[in-house]
Amino acid sequence: MIREAWDGTSPEHVVKNQSGPLIRIRHPKYTEDEPYEDIPIMVSTHKQWKNVEKEDLVVSAAPFPPGEIGRNARYLFATPPRFHYDFAKGYEEVLDILGKQPQTFAPAKHIRSTGHRIERDESACCETEQRYLRAMSMRTTGRYNPRRTSEK
């Protein structure tokens, strides 16, 4: 495990800038020459999370918040937005561990998972995200070709 920190800023200065722990669970086969995808977990208080949900506290440049993966009476646990966009070796395993719900690339109201397919309200996202979702859907159905640059 690797201990780091996440930082949040308040664009409108509604709340003070804040930070909290970020824990990375590292794959046992990870090496510098062959990196595997980490499981990053942001830890925040419920008050911090409410500020993130209200967009009073911004913790990423992504246009959507982190994805909640669990909570207890004191803390909320979430994955950072786009943490797996590098598609490092083992990222599919990480998504499986997280329950096939990355919840890191779009607000939940615009996305739904139907088994191994990822679907999205096309009118609610940008072109880059649409391409990403098509690629992810094709990857999970076995029709993905990384050399192909566009999909119809």
Residues 78 and 148 in one domain: no
- Does the pTM surpass 0.75? The reply is no
- 30 Cβ partners below 8 Å, 6+ apart? 36, 38
Lowest mean pLDDT among 54-58, 69-73, 146-150: 146-150
pLDDT surpassing 60 at residue 138 = no
Cα gap 88→80, rounded to integer Å: 15
* Domain identity same for 116 and 98: no
Average pLDDT score over residue span 9-27: 93
Alpha helices in 3-45 (DSSP H): none
Same domain, 38 and 98: yes
| pLDDT, tens digit, 9 for 90 and up, residues 106-125 | 433 444 444 444 444 444 44
Quote the domain boundaries for residue 127. Answer: 107-152
134 shares a domain with 93: no
Q: Is the pLDDT confidence value at 139 over 70?
A: no
Residue 57 pLDDT > 90: yes
User: CB atoms < 10 A from the CB of 64, how many?
Assistant: 18
User: Could you tell me the end-to-end alpha-carbon distance of the chain, in angstroms, rounded to an integer?
Assistant: 41
Structure tokens at 146: 């990384």
Assess whether 100 and 111 both reside in one domain.
no
Same domain, 45 and 30: yes
- Is residue 43 over pLDDT 70? yes
Q: Name the residue type at position 89.
A: K
Q: pLDDT at position 135, please?
A: 52
User: Residue 82 and residue 61: Cα distance in Å, rounded?
Assistant: 10
Alpha-carbon distances, residue 138 vs 118, 142, 151 (angstroms): 9, 6, 10
* Higher per-residue pLDDT: 39 or 129: 39
Q: How confident is the model at residue 19 (pLDDT cuts 50, 70, 90)?
A: very high
Domain count, the chain: 2
- What phi and psi values does residue 137 have, to the nearest 5 degrees? -65, -40
User: Are 33 and 92 in the same domain?
Assistant: yes
pLDDT, tens digit, for every residue of 68-120?
988 999 999 999 988 888 888 988 888 888 875 544 444 334 444 444 444 44
Mark which of 105, 121, 136 sits at the end of a domain. Answer: 105
What is the percent of the chain where pLDDT is above 70?
Answer: 65
